[in-house]
């Protein structure tokens, strides 16, 4: 059955886009037909992450009724399909975010899994992405401000009559005395933890390479962590081994 998953957070800069593209690429590597959509229209960055900053037809065109959904789908070399948003600020005020739901309906007929990478905050734009979803995943960091915003987001999702599938905690450092323990995050949010992604500079390297880490460094620890979550989402077995170097340098 086709599903639409929205990745949301409350706080900005926690790793939503990184998570969206890595889950999409991982699911694609498992043979699923996946489309990742930049539902962050105010500050879009899927295109920047995947090397398509300016495209002739984007989500903005679809929402303005100027193009069909299929015309805005681009395929990254990793096989991941993407619908970028436009960086142009001129069109923003004319866009009706509520249409994201109708776009979602069409996308469900075009892919096994659609992923909406949501905007930060709890404004109209973020809510439209939440309302479009069959399933919602909250991304957070192991810090009080991010987890507090995650809690607010989860409460809002409840008010919308939806439920949160679980939480992905990312940018988790190995030896930090200041970060929140994962168990405290789970307790505070009262939600299942779908996975934990370590802080790893190869994530930033993949950003420079305009590709998903799951594709550039498939055996790195964060890539394996994303693949594990992706496998869980589609009830698949996953037991790939970490790379020799990750083992050698204690990164696993």
Ligand X SMILES: Nc1ncnc2c1ncn2[C@@H]1O[C@H](COP(=O)(O)OP(=O)(O)O)[C@@H](O)[C@H]1O
Q: Summarize as ranges the residues that interact with ligand X (CB under 6 A).
A: 9, 12-18, 45, 170-171, 197, 199-200, 203-204, 207, 222
Residue 189 touches which of ligand X, Mg ion, none (Cβ within 5-8 Å per kind): none
Question: How far, in Å, CA of 118 to CA of 37, rounded?
Answer: 9
Residue 243 DSSP code:
P
Residue 222 touches which of ligand X, Mg ion, none (Cβ within 5-8 Å per kind): ligand X
Q: Does 17 bind Mg ion (CB under 5 A)?
A: yes
Question: How far, in Å, CA of 69 to CA of 174, rounded?
Answer: 42
Question: How far, in Å, CA of 51 to CA of 77, rounded?
Answer: 10
**Residues near 177 by Cβ (< 8 Å), separated by ≥ 6?**
none
Nearer to Mg ion, 42 or 78 (CB): 42
CB of 31 to ligand X, least distance (A): 25
CB of 77 to ligand X, least distance (A): 19
CB of 119 to ligand X, least distance (A): 9
Contact assessment for residue 246 and residue 219, using Cβ atoms and an 8 Å cutoff: yes
Neighbours of 13 (CB within 10 A): 11
Residue 49 DSSP code:
H
Report the side by side order of strands in the sheet with 74-75: 74-75, 81-83, 34-39, 113-118, 3-8, 135-140, 164-172, 193-198
Nearer to ligand X, 184 or 204 (CB): 204
CB of 179 to ligand X, least distance (A): 13
Q: Residue 251, SS3? A: coil
The region of 8-16, 151-159, 180-188, 192-200 touching Mg ion under the rule CB under 5 A is 8-16
Residue 197 touches which of Mg ion, ligand X, none (Cβ within 5-8 Å per kind): ligand X
Binders in 28-57 for Mg ion, by CB under 5 A: 45
Nearer to ligand X, 20 or 60 (CB): 20
Query: Left if phi > 0, otherwise alpha if psi is -120 to 50, otherwise beta: which for 121?
Result: left
Residue 60 touches which of Mg ion, ligand X, none (Cβ within 5-8 Å per kind): none
Neighbours of 202 (CB within 10 A): 17
CB of 103 to ligand X, least distance (A): 20
Nearer to ligand X, 47 or 222 (CB): 222
Contact assessment for residue 221 and residue 246, using Cβ atoms and an 8 Å cutoff: yes
Nearer to Mg ion, 16 or 165 (CB): 16
Nearer to ligand X, 112 or 219 (CB): 219
Give the interface with Mg ion as residue ranges (CB under 5 A).
16-17, 45
């Amino acid at each position: 059955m086709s599903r639409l998953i929205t990745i949301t957070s409350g706080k900005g800069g926690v790793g939503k886009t990184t998570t969206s593209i890595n889950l999409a690429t991982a699911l694609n590597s498992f043979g699923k037909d996946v489309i990742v959509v930049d539902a962050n229209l105010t500050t879009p960055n899927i295109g920047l992450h995947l090397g398509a900053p300016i495209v002739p037809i984007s989500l903005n065109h679809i929402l303005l009724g100027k193009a069909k959904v299929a015309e805005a789908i681009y395929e990254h070399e990793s096989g991941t399909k993407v619908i970028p948003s436009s960086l142009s600020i001129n069109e923003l005020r004319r866009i009706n975010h509520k249409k994201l739901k109708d776009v979602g309906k069409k996308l469900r007929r075009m892919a096994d899994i659609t992923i909406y990478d949501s905007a930060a905050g709890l404004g109209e734009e973020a809510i439209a992405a939440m309302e479009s979803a069959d399933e919602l995943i909250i991304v957070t960091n192991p810090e009080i401000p991010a987890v507090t915003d995650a809690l607010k987001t989860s409460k809002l999702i409840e008010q919308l009559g939806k439920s949160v599938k679980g939480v992905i905690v990312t940018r988790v450092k190995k030896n930090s005395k200041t970060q929140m323990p994962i168990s405290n995050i789970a307790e505070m949010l009262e939600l299942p933890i779908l996975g934990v992604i370590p802080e790893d500079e190869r994530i930033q390297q993949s950003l420079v390479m305009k590709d998903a880490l799951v594709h550039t460094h498939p055996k790195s620890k964060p890539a394996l962590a994303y693949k594990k979550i992706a496998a869980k989402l589609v009830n698949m077995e996953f037991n790939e081994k970490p790379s020799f170097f990750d083992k050698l340098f204690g990164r696993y």
